[in-house]
Structure 1
Amino acid sequence: MIEEFTNPCRNLVKMGLIRKNTRKSSMRFFLVFFVILFGFYYGAYGKDSLDIEMKLKALNKPALKTIKSQDGDIIDCIDIYKQHAFDHPALKNHKIQMKPSMEFEAKTTTIQNNRFDEQITSQIWTKSGDCPDGTIPVRRVSREDIRRASSPSRFGRKPHRTYSFLDNALQHKGNFNITTENVKHPRPMFISEAVLIALGFNYLGAKSDINVWNPPRIEAKDYSTAQIWLLGGLSDTFESIEAGWAVNPSVFGDSRTRLFIYWTSDGYDQTGCFNLLCAGFVQTSTKFALGAAIDPVSRISQKQYYFTASIMLDVKTGNWWLTCANNVIGYWPGSLFSYLKHSATAVQWGGEVHSPNVRKKPHTTTSMGSGRRAADLWEKACYHTNIRIKDNSLFIKYPKYLSEYSDEEYCYSTNLHRETYMSEPHFYFGGPGQNSLCP
């Protein structure tokens, strides 16, 4: 680039328009001009571009194999020992654990399930190829993905929030049946939840079958999820690990339903992210790509699809293991956390809508779950079923104490429903967002 600025000077000398003895001063002029121009460009445009390039380099590791998915995603097969997780300072000397050191499903209690829904066993990208042993599939991030974020440093991150009931859970140090009053103050400005909550002091895991839908309306700057949360710590600096499905146009650039995870150790303030968009989660599976699209999805009054999501603590290592659709995906290392290193104090099942227009008029039109109200039940509303927790008894069992909560019951509702005394409870949740009752 410097050559481009100095060449005109040489040409002017050849043409006799600049004397040779002024050549050095002219070159100095052009160099000073270049420095000023570069400084102006960098100050106005270059920093964000440089930050984006650095972010892309950190996220998109060299691939041993690349797969072009039918839906347009690019999946890179990354060396498992060179994945982004190991860029985290706490994992500098981490030795990867290829499988849990204990059997999580050895002790379980079951309730009869009267439904015949089908579990999803693969993602769209697997129709175009697979990743070899010793690698993990990672969805490639594009410049456009990062440009949609408020800044490269906030790409794939949730805004800071609080969970006020966590302080109550710590004070009671045991099963605690919460009320609406101790959940709702204070609530986050941009998030609306419809959830089933279990509070305790020693949850070592949780699971459920999550009904998969593609919500009918998602505004461009919003996102909608169906998920499990395991929470610990204090209300404003809580720790969380999460898994489920999400539609998130601001991160992925479309309205497809995608498998996602999330974690934070400080209330979404400076730590954690969706999927593998920051260092932390250690993936071991070659079968599922976090952030990749799920297909098929459920449809109103038609066949219903789900996947089983399980998050369990390996008490020998302090690592939290994630299993989806009977595939072990990987783990959150215990070294990322303080409270969650030992147990969780709360579990949530349900959904979340993030939007600058929740609890406002006009309300966002972004829907949760299927877009139908919880009272519409099976084949119409989204659900969690086979809801289980694991505590110090080491049994995987239906929670003893449960409470339903919705931030905006006329926008997104809940319904813990059991058809008969012997049937498996279904927790239905969701709604249309803006409607006649939620203007």
Structure 2
Amino acid sequence: MASPLPFLQLILTLLLAAARASSEPPPPNITSARPADELRKYRRISARLRSLNKPSSKSIQSPDGDIIDCVPSHLQPAFDHPLLQGSKPLDPPERPKDHESTGDMAAGWDIQLWASAGESCPEGTVPIRRTKEDDILRASSLRRFGKKPVARTRQDSSGSGHEHAVGYVVGDELYGAKASLNVWRPRLSTSAEFSLSQIWVISGSFGSDLNTVEAGWQVSPQLYGDSSPRFFTYWTTDAYQATGCYNLLCSGFVQTSNKIAIGAAISPTSVYNGRQFDISLLIWKDPNHGHWWLEFGSGVLVGYWPSFLFSHLATHATMVQFGGEVFNTRPSGFHTATQMGSGHYAGEGFARAAYFRSLKVVDWDNSLIPAANLRVLADHPNCYDIQARVNSAWGNYFYFGGPGRSVRCP
């Protein structure tokens, strides 16, 4: 049998070396650089929070943990923009001709959780969801906080992780879109993924000059910290690269409503084989001032995107899209089970699949007209599909969605 002494001597040598290493100070780049980096990061985050969280006249605690600040309308983040400083929100514009209520199940502000106990913001203020430090820390970087991932356009989505099922209309001159869409609470496989249902108003190419304004509902744990469907807006002028953001997380969108909090949770939601809950959204270009306005529910004007933010959309749109999108990260090398819409395929129909109904566009004469020549496309149809239909009650409409990873979607 071999002597254990050489082995013991080796152990003793390693222990002594470890003790000496622990008693020596770390290299200068660790002792000095790391605290300095952390301090700079903390200061940047603090500055960002100060720029977003404006002085408020009242704060409301939402049942889901959100804090809604009632900010004087002229102090909202939009007016940090150099071209908006010193100005105030504009008066309501002329609505499109033939605009009428579409029988929405949601009347407006009463379907957001923060207002469920009867709380509201005073006239002259706008309700803004307070941004917390944790919201910023969940982002991939401070620079990308509040922005969508890049390389997400529908035509180029096959390798980007972004997957779509959409109906779309193409035209030389389009000035808005309207639809009603039912709200669901899709399940996500990881907190880095999202699932949404929205309207896009688009102009420019699908390259670096893409202009969009967008609105709908989304589930995004990374952005909001939970799995609730939330009302959101977005805009970009350079294909999601450097310009634009979600909601009010940069200067741009001007909020005018004291009843709707952008980024706040929507409740209730649709029930599979049960009651369906939908909301109506209208985006249109004011023919007098050229700004893009957003209406939520039956007549609640949320606010507008100023026309000077855009290049192509400064004049008109050339495409509108309606539908769903998910971000699939494939963390294990295969498709995740993140749901789109209800998590069920279009063929299951009413009360089971997600839908868009009463699809309309705004024409050159500021008139709402049926979305004729509607085309549909699912870029990953085994995972999420879409079926277009027409009837007298809903006009042009479609069902869409799916479960993600499944027998059909390996």
Instruction: Provide the TM-score with structure 1 as the length reference.
Output: 0.81
Contact 1:389–1:399 (Cα < 8 Å) also in 2? yes
Is 1:218–1:224's contact at 8 Å kept on the other side of the alignment?
Answer: no
Query: Any residues of structure 2 matched to 1:143-292 within 5 Å, and which?
Result: 143-161=133-151, 163=153, 184-185=155-156, 187=158, 189-236=160-207, 237-292=209-264
CA distance in 1, matches of 2:266, 2:157: 34
1:430 — aligned with what?
401
Give the Cα separation in 2 of the matches to 1:87 and 1:117.
35
Match among 375, 378, 399 for residue 406 of structure 1:
378
Contact 1:265–1:272 (CA<8 Å) still a contact in 2?
A: yes
Taking the aligned partners of 2:69 and 2:159, their CA distance within structure 1 comes to: 36
State the partner residue of 2:272: 300
Relative to structure 1, the CA distance from residue 423 to residue 42 in structure 2 (aligned partners, 3 Å threshold; closer, same or farther) is closer
Check whether the contact 2:74–2:87 (CA below 8 A) recurs between aligned residues: no
Q: Alpha-carbon deviation of 1:120?
A: 5.1
| Distance in 2 (alpha carbons) for counterparts of 1:186 and 1:248 | 19
Task: Output one character per residue of 1:49-79: Cα deviation in whole Å (capped at 9) or x when no partner.
Answer: 1211111111111111000011111000001
Moved >6 Å (runs of 4+): 35-38
Q: Secondary structure at the match of 2:314?
A: coil
Q: Is the 8 A contact 1:322 1:330 kept in 2?
A: yes
Counterpart of 1:352 (choices 291, 315, 325) is 325
The answer to whether the Cα contact below 8 Å between 1:220 and 1:250 also exists between their aligned partners in 2 is yes
Q: Secondary structure at the match of 1:275?
A: coil
Q: Does residue 309 of structure 2 align to residue 336 of structure 1?
A: yes
For 1:341, the aligned partner's letter is: A
Return the alpha-carbon distance in structure 2 between the equivalents of residues 209 and 320 of structure 1.
19
Aligned to 2:73: 80
Contact 1:212 1:305 in 2 (8 A): yes
| SS of equivalent to 2:57 | strand
Letter in 2 for 1:414: I
Indicate how the Cα distance of structure 1 residues 131 and 184 shifts in structure 2: closer, same or farther if over 3 A, else same. Answer: closer
Q: What per-residue deviation string (whole Å, max 9, x for no partner) do you get for residues 255-300 of structure 1?
A: 0010000000110000111101111000000111000000000001
The DSSP-based 3-state class of the residue aligned with 2:116 is helix
CA-CA distance at 1:210 after TM superposition: 1.2
Aligned residues: 378
Q: Distance in 2 between matches of 1:421 and 1:49?
A: 57
1:117 deviation in Å? 6.9
Query: Which SS does the other structure have where 1:216 is aligned?
Result: coil
Name the residue aligned to 1:32.
none
How far apart, CA to CA, are the structure 2 residues paired with 1:156 and 1:36? 32
Structure 1 contact 117–304 (Cα < 8 Å) conserved: no
CA RMSD of aligned residues (A): 2.3
Q: Which residue of 2 aligns with 1:107?
A: 98
Change in 2 beyond 3 A, CA 1:80/1:413: same
1:340 is paired with a residue whose SS is helix
Please tell me whether the aligned partners of residues 162 and 238 of structure 1 are also in contact (alpha carbons under 8 angstroms).
no
Structure 2, gaps ≥5 residues long: 1-27
Q: Give the superposition deviation at 1:394.
A: 2.9
- The residue type equivalent to 1:103 in the other structure is R
Q: Name stretches of at least 5 consecutive residues in structure 1 with no aligned partner.
A: 1-34, 164-182
Quote the offset at 1:38 in angstroms: 8.8
Kindly tell me: are residues 108 and 40 of structure 1, through their superposed partners in 2, closer, same or farther at Cα, counting changes over 3 Å? closer
Aligned to 2:45: 52
Q: Distance in 2 between matches of 1:212 and 1:51?
A: 36
The one-letter code sitting in structure 1 at the alignment partner of 2:205 is: L
Question: Is the Cα–Cα contact under 8 Å of residues 349 and 384 in structure 1 kept in the other structure?
Answer: yes
CA contact (8 A) 2:353 2:401 kept: yes
Q: Which residue of 2 aligns with 1:118?
A: 105
Q: State whether residues 162 and 235 of structure 1, in contact with CA within 8 Å, keep that contact through their aligned partners in structure 2.
A: no
Q: Structure 2 length normalisation: TM-score?
A: 0.87
| Residues 88 and 190 of structure 1, relative CA distance in 2, 3 Å threshold | farther
The answer to whether the aligner puts 1:386 opposite 2:358 as a matched pair is yes
1:315 to 287, 305, 314: 287
- Contact 1:207 1:388 (C-alpha < 8 Å) held by counterparts: yes
SS at match of 2:139: coil
Instruction: Name 2:55's counterpart in structure 1.
Output: 62
The question of whether the paired residues in 1 share the 8 Å contact of 2:199 and 2:214 is answered with yes
Cα distance in 2, alignment partners of residues 217 and 125 from structure 1: 24
Q: Give, in whole Å, the separation in 2 of the partners of 1:386 and 1:219.
A: 33
- 3-state SS of 1:288 partner: coil
Code of the residue aligned with 1:232 in structure 2: it is S
* Structure 2: distance between partners of 1:51 and 1:291: 23
Match of 1:417 in 2: 389
* In 2, Cα distance between equivalents of 1:37 and 1:365: 41
**Letter paired with 2:68:** I
What letter is aligned with 2:98? K
* In 2: Cα distance, 1:131 partner to 1:246 partner: 24
